[in-house]
Amino acid sequence: MNSFIPLSVPNLKGNELKYVTDAIESEWVSTAGRYVAEFEEKIAEYVNAKGAVSCQNGTSGLHISLLLAGITMDDAVFVPTLTFIAAVNPVKYIGASPIFMDCDDSLCMDPIKLEQYCREECVIEAGKLIDKVTHKHIKAIVIVHVFGNMADMVAIMEIATKYHLKVVEDATEAIGSYYISGRYVGKYAGTIGDFGVYSFNGNKIMTTGGGGMIISNDENCLKKAKHLTTQAKSDEVNFLHDEIGYNYRMTNIQAAIGLAQLEQLEGFIQTKEDNYLMYKSLFKNSRYKLLDVRNDIRSNRWFYALFCDDIKTRDGIIKYLSKKQIQTRPIWGLIHQQIPYVSEKAYRIEKAILYWERIVNIPCSTNLGIEEVERIVEQILNY
């Protein structure tokens, strides 16, 4: 009997236990402690950002970023429909309205349709982008760098400047991805827009069990992010609070794990790249196509997306592999079609439907060996 191959699991064979043991022995286990500050510094250094503020998870980081972008309940925000729902829910936490956008062949937001919406469906009044139908002020874009690929940030940032939009980069899947040519050469996912957010959930390329990080190059925003994630306490001694804050801080134990994971991140990315190339060569001349990333980036290769002929094949593969002890899954259900969002605006969603029908995600853990990749491909080709 072959052993079970999971889709994406943590790899904790570095200094995790050592640092966590140290945190526990020191009895600094909560939101204060040296690992939190050190992890924040090391992440900022790794992605060449001015600073980083840790938080409980990627979702809370996105919530705080939208608050810092000045989003209020009367505003609207551009979001992708082909993504994990956590990229969109924070818009609703604030009571604002999402406007769903299509993807392009990178699986990230299509800048052409985004620009078209701004130009044809909106007017600019006193420097504000106003939706002609809802009369809402559209203030920001949430850009998701899907599966470790990157969105077309040159086009997106030009649109953002032209239409006065803040940019929140949901880089929860893309830590370590960066541009290798063009205007943003050397720039990491999460450091190009106004805010960037990483996630250290268990299925991400590096994990803290659960955790997140907010990135910004603006000192004031970083200060504000720290303030909002620590209950907006303005007076430590007397417990005075100057606005509504949140208990969103990361703990020292999580940060201890994170620090050990960060030490291994480049190695994880190398393994993901090696396995990607292995998959790619084994699928050559088959009816399946392993999707690639933009050619102007170094990708962290977080998730592998296999493109099938049709939805029937996709579902068939998932079922067949499950019987063979191999875990795969379809790409996320489109957000604009989900119960909490069916009445929101969605604009010319076409490509997202195609990719939703055809993509199956295949195992991508950094623990994956060559024999396992061979076994997975063999079973898919057997199907």
Ligand X SMILES: *Cc1c(COP(=O)(O)O)cnc(C)c1O
Binding positions for ligand X, rule: CB under 6 A: 57-59, 83-84, 86-87, 144, 170, 172-173, 199, 201, 212
Give the nearer residue to ligand X in terms of CB position, either 201 or 275.
201
Residue 73, SS3?
A: coil
The one-character DSSP state at 331 is P
Give the nearer residue to ligand X in terms of CB position, either 59 or 327.
59
Residue position matching structure tokens 């999707």: 291
Give the nearer residue to ligand X in terms of CB position, either 118 or 144.
144
Q: What is the nearest approach in angstroms of ligand X to the Cβ of residue 91?
A: 12
Q: Cα–Cα distance between 269 and 257 in angstroms, integer?
A: 18
Q: What is the nearest approach in angstroms of ligand X to the Cβ of residue 66?
A: 12
Give the nearer residue to ligand X in terms of CB position, either 20 or 108.
108
- Report the sign of the C-alpha dihedral through residues 72, 74, 75, 76, in that order: positive
The one-character DSSP state at 326 is B
Residue position matching structure tokens 């393994």: 271
Q: What is the nearest approach in angstroms of ligand X to the Cβ of residue 215?
A: 14
Q: What is the nearest approach in angstroms of ligand X to the Cβ of residue 194?
A: 17
- What are residue 98's phi and psi, to 5 degrees? -80, 150
Q: What is the nearest approach in angstroms of ligand X to the Cβ of residue 267?
A: 21
Q: What is the nearest approach in angstroms of ligand X to the Cβ of residue 212?
A: 5
Give the nearer residue to ligand X in terms of CB position, either 199 or 216.
199
Buried b (16+ CB within 10 A) or exposed e, 198-235: bbbbebbbbbbebbbbbbbbeeebbebbbbbbbbeeee
Q: Which residue is nearest to ligand X (CB)?
A: 58
Q: What is the nearest approach in angstroms of ligand X to the Cβ of residue 158?
A: 23
CA neighbor of 210 nearest in space, from 69, 55, 373 = 55
Contact 98, 334 (CB under 8 A): no
Contact 306, 360 (CB under 8 A): yes
Report, in angstroms and rounded to the nearest whole number, the Rg of the chain calculated over CA atoms. Answer: 21
Give the nearer residue to ligand X in terms of CB position, either 94 or 130.
94
Give the nearer residue to ligand X in terms of CB position, either 131 or 173.
173
Q: 164: phi > 0 → left, psi -120 to 50 → alpha, else beta; which?
A: left
Q: What is the nearest approach in angstroms of ligand X to the Cβ of residue 48?
A: 22
Task: Name residue 123's beta-bridge partners.
Answer: 130
Q: What is the nearest approach in angstroms of ligand X to the Cβ of residue 284?
A: 29
The one-character DSSP state at 338 is S
Give the nearer residue to ligand X in terms of CB position, either 316 or 330.
330
Q: What ranges in the chain are assigned the alpha helix state H? A: 16-26, 34-46, 58-68, 89-93, 111-120, 153-162, 219-229, 252-283, 311-323, 351-358, 370-382
Give the nearer residue to ligand X in terms of CB position, either 98 or 375.
98
